[in-house]
Structure 1
Amino acid sequence: MFKLITLQDTIRIPPETFGNPLEKVGKDQVKQKYEGIVDEELGYVIAVTGIEVSPIGKIIPGDGATFHKVNFSLLTFYPLIQEIVEGDVVEIADFGAFVRIGPVDALLHVSQLMDDYISYDEKQGVLLGKESKRKLVTGDQVRARITAVSLGRAGSSGKIGITARQPFLGKLDWLEMDQAKPSEKKPETPKQET
């Protein structure tokens, strides 16, 4: 789920940037500190979207910089367990497919792809269902449910697991084909008279 979060912090304005517009220097400092990080509370920080820098700063003895309070907003992506997501397959491996959801790749393990025996064709980069003949390749669009989230610590990017083995999930082309099939009508049972 994408979120817009408003935060407060104190940033250091280096002395070599004195004389430059405070808002621009402040935004550069906030971007440097926050953009691209993965945090357990914030999720994946994508961008700094707005910033207000207090024009009054503090000087700390021994440091030539000034320290200013800032209010800013961040665009983040926080994957939630059970959330339905759509993404593009960016890589196929013998153990599954990596699907790009938002700014991160999630693992769709072969056991979570479909109710079929799946083989991997390394030359073509294809996951193929034995009975259904359905195949998954790089570039396919997939709808899936998030089943596991582990946000990274100390610089790692975290891991996300997804499944497509539930109704209305899977490769979007498969879902369209399933909906286009004529529905099988069950024979009506005669009503009993009482």
Structure 2
Amino acid sequence: MFVLCEMKDTVRIPPWEFKENTTDAIMDILNKKFANKVVYNVGLCIALWDLVKLEDSFIFPGDGATHTNVHFRYVVFRPFIDEILVGKIKCSSKEGVYVSMGFFDDIFIPADALQHPAIFESQDQIWAWEYEVDEDTKHKLFMDIDEEIRFRVVDETFTDTTPSGPDTTNTESDIPTDPELKKPPYTITASISDSGLGCMSWWNG
């Protein structure tokens, strides 16, 4: 679930921070820059682990700050494919179930990856697994909001959210974009179609 990734960045230390220990100042800047942010094709950065190497610092003309190339290792959230994780159900729709792990919310279980057969209760906006007790009896096991759920990671998607320049060919480019339509930078697709997966209450007896 968590991995150590070696990264490199140029750290700028402004003059008013020269009184601080250089290593402490660099670590503080790296944590502020990367913590709780997604790095494309790397994952969700959690916290700085350590500094591997500090190269020579430079001061450029017109800028009193120092610039240092730093090699460091960061704790990153990036589960591997087929890893089993536990989260909580955030909400549901006809498309599937959305899961949160507290620090990461962009986990989606498509409808076809739920336990079969599953039905969507449109009035309550929740999914239910129609568990067959015997040939004549079926029992609905509901997937309620905030219930703990065990799932398997089946895919991951990174989206480059770097701002691009204005589209001069589009006469409606000045129309603001709905923030809800923006894609998250990192999403995980999951499944609960295997035995032992799904709501924890189903399997706890």
Find the structure with the greater CA-based Rg: 1
1:80 and 1:149 in contact (8 A); partners too: no
TM-superposed deviation, 1:85: 1.5
Q: Which region of structure 1 is more displaced relative to structure 2, 135-144 or 94-103?
A: 94-103
**1:134 and 2:141 matched:** yes
**1:164 and 2:192 matched:** yes
TM-superposed deviation, 1:111: 2.4
1:92 and 1:126 in contact (8 A); partners too: yes
2:52 and 2:71 in contact (8 A); partners too: yes
> Would the alpha carbon gap of residues 47 and 140 (structure 1) be closer, same or farther in structure 2, given more than 3 Å must change?
same
Q: Match for residue 118 of structure 1?
A: 119
> How big is the alpha-carbon RMSD for the aligned residues of Structure 1 and Structure 2?
2.5
The separation in 2 between residues aligned to 1:52 and 1:162, in whole angstroms, is: 35
2:53 and 2:71 in contact (8 A); partners too: yes
**Match runs of 1:35-114 below 5 Å:** 35-51=35-51, 54=54, 57-101=57-101, 103-105=103-105, 106-114=107-115
The separation in 1 between residues aligned to 2:148 and 2:55, in whole angstroms, is: 48
Aligned residues: 176
The separation in 2 between residues aligned to 1:104 and 1:59, in whole angstroms, is: 38
1:57 and 1:68 in contact (8 A); partners too: yes
Alignment identity in percent?
A: 25
The separation in 2 between residues aligned to 1:80 and 1:101, in whole angstroms, is: 16
The separation in 2 between residues aligned to 1:7 and 1:173, in whole angstroms, is: 41
1:110 and 1:118 in contact (8 A); partners too: no
Q: Secondary structure at the match of 2:202?
A: helix
> Would the alpha carbon gap of residues 37 and 152 (structure 1) be closer, same or farther in structure 2, given more than 3 Å must change?
farther
Cα deviation per residue 1:153-177 (whole Å; 9 max; x = unaligned)?
Answer: 1254222111101122111111234
Cα deviation per residue 1:54-87 (whole Å; 9 max; x = unaligned)?
Answer: 4962212232111224343311111322222111
TM-superposed deviation, 1:52: 6.9
2:119 and 2:127 in contact (8 A); partners too: yes
> Would the alpha carbon gap of residues 55 and 117 (structure 1) be closer, same or farther in structure 2, given more than 3 Å must change?
closer
TM-superposed deviation, 1:122: 4.1
2:57 and 2:68 in contact (8 A); partners too: yes
Unmatched tracts of structure 2, length 5 or more: 131-137, 163-183
TM-superposed deviation, 1:31: 1.8
Q: Match for residue 188 of structure 1?
A: none
